[in-house]
Amino acid sequence: MKRLNSQLQEDGCPLELILLIRTLLAGCKEISFRVSQGELAGVLGSTLSDNVQGERQKKLDVISNQILKDILSESGYVKALSSEEEDTVVGCNPDGKYLVSIDPLDGSSNIDINSLIGTIFSIQHAPQWMEPDDPQAFLQPGTQMVAAGYVLYGPSTVLVLTTGRGTHGYTLDKTHGGFLLTRPNIRVPEQTQEFAINASNQRHWEKPMQDYIADLLAGKDGPRGKDFNMRWIAAMVGDIHRILSRGGLFTYPFDYREPNKPGKLRLLYEANPMAFLMEQAGGEASTGTQRIMEILPTEIHQRVPVIMGSKEEVAMCLEYHNREAN
Ligand code: AHG
Ligand code: MN
Ligand code: MN
């Protein structure tokens, strides 16, 4: 089976980027080990602190952030990093070529129930003009990403990665410690009968999403003329991994709960990297009105509505949004 390194070389990835990705993955292997130790290592449960977004941090959020921050800032390849668990940008090596954005532990509410969790990351070029702690440099549209991916700490530890030459899946061989290419060139089926949404928020959605989901739920008897199945893992990594594996539509839509937070998911380290993976696998990713990867970010922890997955189903959902706008 092909190793990660060979695939990255074949994809024409610059050496320094390969080394950066491998460094980041060394951190993820450490997280994978800690996760698998669970209660034996005392990593479950919460801390007494909140992150900048007002969320109570789990011990594993803090541990994962520290592992990745240490390994990335010592690597030399990274000029600065932004993280869900850091209030502001962390300056690293002034000569580093890259910027890294991370969700160190996605799916925090799954930690204590031994369910799916993961790490999400995106990598951009570091502009030469920037000071290492300047957040402005991170505010580039997703189309500028040079790599993005996630590591899913499931029954097996899986990496899904793109450097803009397709989306490839790897499995961590825990006996040798390497990521082996197990799913080259992932393609998302264009059609689907499966969707993922936290339906408990229904009353807070906008009308187009209300109408779209109502028609899915009406199944065979409704305008869609077919039954749909629903799944919700409460970890974007888990839901997106399923959709990359067998198709589907994932959404965390705009909602009216908090007007200054138009969505729940964060652009830099959740929506953008997943959008890049999805598009490289033939899927689509939108806010409902705009392609996610074309958004010009205004701040590092910006939140956006997310609709992504199988091409035809995303297009259908967007039709409901367009109808409403006209
Ligand atoms: P995080 O654990 O990094 O804060 O992210 C959780 C996110 C995302 O992974 C998931 O899809 C969503 O929050 C779940 O939200 P609900 O708890 O509202 O279902
Ligand atoms: Mn997350
Ligand atoms: Mn997180």
Furthest C-alpha separation in the chain: 61
Does the pLDDT at position 250 exceed 80?
A: yes
Residue-level length of the chain: 326
Q: Is 171 exposed, middle or buried (0-12, 13-18, 19+ CB in 10 A)?
A: middle
114 alpha-carbon distance from chain centroid: 20
Q: What pLDDT, on the 0 to 100 scale, is given for residue 325?
A: 76
Q: Are residues 21 and 130 in the same domain?
A: yes
Vertex 207 angle, CA 262 and 324, to 5°: 100
Of 183, 213, 232, the last residue of a domain is 183
Q: Are residues 150 and 201 in the same domain?
A: no
Task: Give the span between the Cα atoms of 284 and 248, in whole angstroms.
Answer: 11
Strands (E) in 129-256, as ranges, are 145-153, 157-162, 167-173, 178-183, 194-196, 229-230, 249-252
Does the pLDDT at position 87 exceed 90?
A: yes
Asked if residues 69 and 90 have their Cβ atoms less than 8 Å apart, the reply is yes
Q: What pLDDT, on the 0 to 100 scale, is given for residue 53?
A: 83
140: closest CA among 267, 265, 264?
Answer: 267
Q: Are residues 139 and 83 in the same domain?
A: yes
Q: Give, in order, the Cα–Cα distances in Å from 311 to each of 210, 279, 315, 317.
A: 20, 9, 6, 10
CATH number at 94 reads 3.30.540.10
- What pTM was computed for the model? 0.97
Sequence-distant (≥ 6) Cβ neighbours of residue 232 within 8 angstroms: 196, 197, 198, 199, 239
Reported as a single tens digit per residue, the pLDDT across 3-39 is 999 999 999 999 999 999 999 999 999 999 999 999 9
Any domain includes 189: no
Q: Are residues 217 and 101 in the same domain?
A: no
Of 118, 153, 183, the last residue of a domain is 183
CATH number at 214 reads 3.40.190.80
Nearest CA to ligand 1 atom 17: 234
Q: Are residues 106 and 10 in the same domain?
A: yes
Asked if residues 89 and 134 have their Cβ atoms less than 8 Å apart, the reply is yes
User: How many structural domains is the chain composed of?
Assistant: 2
Q: Are residues 68 and 170 in the same domain?
A: yes
Ligand 1: nearest atom to the Cα of 232: 19
Of 128, 157, 183, the last residue of a domain is 183
For the Cβ of 106 lying below 6 angstroms from any atom of ligand 1, the answer is yes
Q: Are residues 35 and 178 in the same domain?
A: yes
Ligand closest to Cα of 264 equals 1
Q: In the chain, what percentage of residues exceed pLDDT 70?
A: 100
For the Cβ of 118 lying below 6 angstroms from any atom of ligand 1, the answer is no
Range(s) of the domain holding residue 251: 194-325
For the Cβ of 60 lying below 6 angstroms from any atom of ligand 1, the answer is no
Nearest CA to ligand 1 atom 12: 234
Nearest CA to ligand 1 atom 3: 106
For the Cβ of 109 lying below 6 angstroms from any atom of ligand 1, the answer is yes
Q: Are residues 85 and 210 in the same domain?
A: no
Q: Which residue has the higher pLDDT, 52 or 199?
A: 199
pLDDT band (50, 70, 90) for residue 114:
very high
Residue to mutate (ligand 1; options 254, 265, 266, 274; most atoms within 8 A of CB)? 265
Ligand 2 center from residue 265 Cα (angstroms):
7
Q: Which residue has the higher pLDDT, 29 or 55?
A: 29
Reported as a single tens digit per residue, the pLDDT across 280-291 is 999 999 999 999
For the Cβ of 240 lying below 6 angstroms from any atom of ligand 1, the answer is no
Q: Read off the tokens for 286.
A: 């939108």
Ligand 1 center from residue 109 Cα (angstroms):
8
Look-up of token digits 């959902």: 317
For the Cβ of 264 lying below 6 angstroms from any atom of ligand 1, the answer is yes
Does the pLDDT at position 123 exceed 90?
A: yes
